[in-house]
Structure 1
Amino acid sequence: MPRNIDAATARALLQTRDDLRRSGCTERDIERLVRDRVVRRVRNGRYVSADAWNGLWNEGRHIVEVVATHLNSDAPGPVFWGPSAAVLHGLPLYRLAPKQVHTAIIGARHGRTCAGVVWHNVEVVSSDIVEIDGIRCTSLDRTVLDLGRATAAGVAVSAADAALRSEAVSGHVQDADAAAAWAGRMSARAERSHGRGIRQARRIIEFADGRAQLPGESVSRLQLARLGFVRPQLQVHVVGPSGEDYWLDFGFPRAQCFGEFDGAGKYLDGEVRGERTAEEVVMAEKTREDAVRGVTGWRTVRWGSSHILSTDAFGATLAAFGIRPPG
């Protein structure tokens, strides 16, 4: 099963108490399965197998919680908001594991928290409510803006990059006109908005770049900006010795280095590796790196998730290879 799932897959994973009874479980059996962590109670009367749950990333776990909340609600169901809307749209939640499901309580005076659900008193116009697999949530644009206002910069920029990528990027190439249209639309929306967090949201929208393929690349770019790299080259195209097309995450001309964010999933996650073994992935990366160095004369510097946790640590990693901000 993939570690990232959509609402339909989440719905299929969930079992009701009646489902478990029909499989032969008694009430005592169900309680024992929960106690022994063979199944996990997601919401009242909604269960998922522990094996399935443990195989999911944070986004997948949260969409299971969102779908369970929807199924336990009266029609038409709540409008999911913020991180809970993000997972319905397939946006990443960089290092964020929501502890509660987030919904917009339309027309209420005060927000509240009940049974693992936070009801936010936020204004959501009807044009900003969409349905995904029959589940209501805020629109993609509104969700990106809300994440920009209410989450850490790494979460917000990863989501904004992913939203822009879905609209303006094909392969590794970003359509400049489509990207400009997205930025203009989102900036105009942010300018019309006010209140807590809106300044960060405006900065995130201005900073977004759909060429980031992974959240780790988005956060790497954020850390580079904090270090003083104003506009690092992104998705640098190199033609190999036999005409191969290679794309490098970052280019640092002054140091004559390419930079690559290397997530562990490339080597360890079967969903990412596809049919290849970890050894085959390593060899392919070595072949690629040798070809790029042979054509350009540039080295390739790699870093992973642990290196981008802090700006200082990332700066020290780059400096060890002679990569320093200009000026």
Structure 2
Amino acid sequence: MRKAVTLAQARDLMRSREDLLSSGNTERQIRSLVTAQRVIRVRRDRYIDASAHDELWNEGRHLVAVLAAHLNADPPGPVFWGPSAAVVHGLPLYRLAPTKVHTVILGERHGRTRAGIAQHSVGLDDADIVEVDGLRCTSIERTVLDLACTTSPETGLSAADAALRRVAVSRHRQDPEHAAAWHQGMSQRAAVVRARGIRQARRILDFADGRAQLPGESVSRLQLHRIGFTGLELQPHVLGSEGDDYWLDFGFPHNRVFGEFDGQGKYLDPDLRSAGTAEESVLAEKRREDDVRGVTGWRFARWEDRHIRTADTLSARLQAFGVRPPA
């Protein structure tokens, strides 16, 4: 099971050449470890154990690369941009696996790529640059806007939802005032930008909703919109027969069906599952579903990550459950 990492955890995984030498390896042995793919050379003099690297999601792998670039740079270090800033902020990169570290060129020079680092010539205000645990990067608001302009709608929306969730959502409920303030601020940012992709970005930012708990829920909502579903309930609340509070991913009032996105982490990731073991989590989910069915009389439709790759695949999945958009 792959896992996410924080910036502090990425620091713990990083090993310098001096670390490897001090642990008893020679220069020749270090080269042999890299050749045998037991250790991965992230950048010059920066390494990570291959087993640890294999366990990381794309975001974690890119965060390691970003950290290595920071450690090898002269102080105060580069300003990370776009996907690289996103992983510093802990935002998701849905189905995006960057092959380069992205930074900003401060000044009027043209963008270029050197040694796996893409340097972008973009205009930044001082307020657009922040520091996160010693790393400089674009602010979370600017990062979300840049992702919405330059990546797929699925990636951009997942990041926007996650950013909005941080400021406007508590216990599955989205505060209307905080959400409205976020939308207004992002709209004002987007209104003065003339960058390529800004029209797509404005649509994504308008569509953002912080109640999505996972990128898969964000992408599900986008595909449902493309299919033609309107009037969806997000995070509908159900009170169980014994007073338990249940929150579902989606409600389809027209069909009297609850929709649930089942990511693997829901059952396999200890940080996400509701019970101790995967088996206990599956059993707890069944009891939850049975209780919700009994209280509401509604049915359930479930889908996985493979079903949200396109609107057509999700539509076919929902039709198998008799769920169709209103006429």
Alignment TM-score, normalising by the size of structure 1: 0.98
- Preserved contact between residue 14 and residue 48 of structure 2 (Cα < 8 Å): yes
* Paired residue total: 327
- Structure 2 distance, partners of 1:231, 1:274, is 29
Structure 1 partner of 2:85: 85
Which deviations, in whole Å up to 9, do the C-alpha atoms of 1:78-108 show, x marking residues without a partner?
1000000000111001111111100011114
* 1:228 partner letter: G
Q: Deviations over 1:242-293 (max 9, x none)?
A: 1110001000111110000000112223343376111101100100000000
- Name the counterpart of 2:298: 298
Aligned to 1:287: 287
Alignment of 1:1-327 (within 5 A): 3-273=3-273, 276-327=276-327
Q: Write the distance in 2 (CA, Å) between the matches of 1:230 and 1:184.
A: 23
- How much has 1:188 moved relative to structure 2? 1.0
Contact 2:259 2:300 in 1 (8 A): yes
In 1, Cα distance between the equivalents of 2:205 and 2:326? 24
Deviation at 1:7, TM superposition (A): 1.6
Decide whether the 8 Å contact of 1:11 with 1:68 is kept in 2: no
Distance in structure 2 (CA, Å) of the matches to 1:296 and 1:187: 39
Shift of 1:299: 0.7
Spell out structure 1 runs of 4+ moving beyond 6 A. Answer: none
C-alpha distance in structure 2 between counterparts of 1:105 and 1:231, whole Å: 44
Secondary structure, aligned partner of 2:147: helix
Q: Report if aligned partners of 2:107, 2:121 keep a CA contact under 8 Å in 1.
A: yes
Check conservation: 2:81, 2:137, Cα contact below 8 A: yes
- Contact 2:147-2:155 within 8 A present in 1 as well: yes
Q: 1:269 and 1:163 mapped to 2: Cα distance?
A: 22
- Structure-2 separation of matches of 1:237 and 1:279: 25
Amino acid at match of 1:319: Q
Matched residues in 2 for 1:244 and 1:315: separation?
32
Any idea what the Cα deviations from partners look like across 1:212-270, whole Å, max 9, x if unmatched? 00000000000001011134110000000011100010001111100000001122233
Paired residue type of 2:315: G
Structure-2 separation of matches of 1:80 and 1:4: 20
Q: Quote the Cα distance in structure 2 between the aligned partners of 1:78 and 1:314.
A: 41
Contact 1:2–1:271 (Cα < 8 Å) also in 2: no
2:273 alignment partner AA = R
Q: TM-score, normalised by structure 2?
A: 0.98
Identity of aligned residues (%): 62
Q: Equivalents in 1 of 2:2, 2:228: separation in Å?
A: 37
Report the 3-state secondary structure (helix = DSSP H, G, I; strand = E; otherwise coil) of the residue aligned with 1:254.
coil
Task: State the one-letter code of the partner of 1:176.
Answer: P
Q: Work out the CA distance in 1 between the residues paired with 2:116 and 2:308.
A: 31
- Aligned AA for 2:163? A
SS at match of 1:130: strand
In structure 2, distance between residues paired with 1:250 and 1:133 = 36
Does the 8 Å CA contact 2:275/2:281 hold for their aligned counterparts? no
CA contact (8 A) 1:84 1:102 kept: yes
Comparing 129-138 with 2-11, greater Cα deviation is found at: 2-11
Q: Distance in 2 between matches of 1:26 and 1:299?
A: 63
**For 1:136-193, what per-residue CA distance to the aligned partner results, in whole angstroms no more than 9, with x for missing partners?**
0000100000000000011000000000000000010000110000001101110111
> For residues 304 and 296 of structure 1, what CA distance do their matches in structure 2 show?
24
Decide which moves more: 118-127 or 204-213. Answer: 118-127
Q: Distance in 2 between matches of 1:79 and 1:4?
A: 23
